[in-house]
Amino acid sequence: MTSTKNMLEARGLCKQFGPTVALEDFSLTVPEGEVVCLLGANGAGKTTTINLFLGFLQPDRGEALVGGIDVAEAPFEARRRLAYLPESVALYPKLTGLENLSFFDQLAGGSRSPQDLSKLLLDAGFPKEAHHRRAATYSKGMRQKVGIAIATARQARALLLDEPLSGLDPSAASTLGVQIGKLRDDGCAVMMATHDIFRAKEVGDRIGIMMHGKLVNMLDAASLDAREIEQIYLEHLREADASRHQEHAL
């Protein structure tokens, strides 16, 4: 039996901004070939978690590891194993999709041919007729697909996504979800922040529920339907709100 490697690992991560606790004792592992969705409202700690893995923030306590490398100690080495897809992919508007992909490929040390780059775009679901159009004409869904192609070109073994499906129409969101699934099937470890219960169920293997900086539950997506996940999420929300009201009353 082949063992899988934990590509993303959080060990007791804590982060505070002034009096606000953004992340508290967060621990999680994401092995190769798995998608873990972090489900929560704005302010739940999802983006803080991603920024700690990217090395954009330093933890107050705990460790974030990528492929066993501590991000705080070796941020550049850790980032070499990562790809990142934000809520809205920023492309150079005067360059075409193919030119943008070529630029980012070279920036990462690659030297792929136009034919190979075109195939990466097609594999990401990006229409061939748009390869040579300027990125300024692209919809958000099209930019996200170029972002997937950029992540694939990096050959990263771990992928971080921060609300990548937000604002997409149902068709574009479904297509992007399929591409994320392909990356998982190729052995990539994926951690995706989202507030969309339906998409978390559709894309994720496991769903972590976050409330006010804490990971309060980890669910097996295959064993629950979207309605059941919603009920569990709302129950945690009620408990978290009741606890916060009690703390303020003391």
Could you tell me the strand order of the sheet in which 158-162 lies?
A: 82-85, 158-162, 189-194, 35-39, 206-211, 214-220
**76 Cβ neighbours under 8 A, 6+ residues apart:** none
Q: Which of 190, 97, 113 is nearest to 150 (CA)?
A: 97
CATH topology of domain 1-81+158-250: Rossmann fold (3.40.50)
- Sign, CA dihedral 143-148-152-158, equals positive
pLDDT of amino acid 2: 46
Per-residue pLDDT of the chain (250 residues; tens, 9 = 90+): 445 689 999 999 999 999 999 999 999 999 999 999 999 988 899 999 999 999 999 999 999 999 999 999 999 999 989 999 888 889 999 999 999 999 999 988 888 999 999 999 998 889 999 999 999 999 998 998 999 899 888 888 999 999 988 888 888 888 888 888 989 999 999 999 998 899 899 999 999 999 999 999 999 999 999 999 999 999 998 887 777 666 655 5
pLDDT of residue 166: 82
Tokens of 223: 């064993």
Query: Within 13 Å, how many C-alpha atoms sit on residue 135's CB side?
Result: 21
pLDDT digits (tens, 9 = 90+) for 112-158: 999 999 999 998 889 999 999 999 999 998 998 999 899 888 888 99
The pLDDT value given to residue 125: 86
Break the chain into its structural domains and give their ranges.
Answer: 1-81+158-250, 88-155
pLDDT value for 4? 66
With b meaning 16 or more CB within 10 Å and e meaning fewer, what string describes 226-246? eeebeebbeebbeebeeeeee
- Helices 97-107/140-153 angle, 10° precision: 30
What residues contact 238, with CB distance under 8 A and at least 6 apart? none
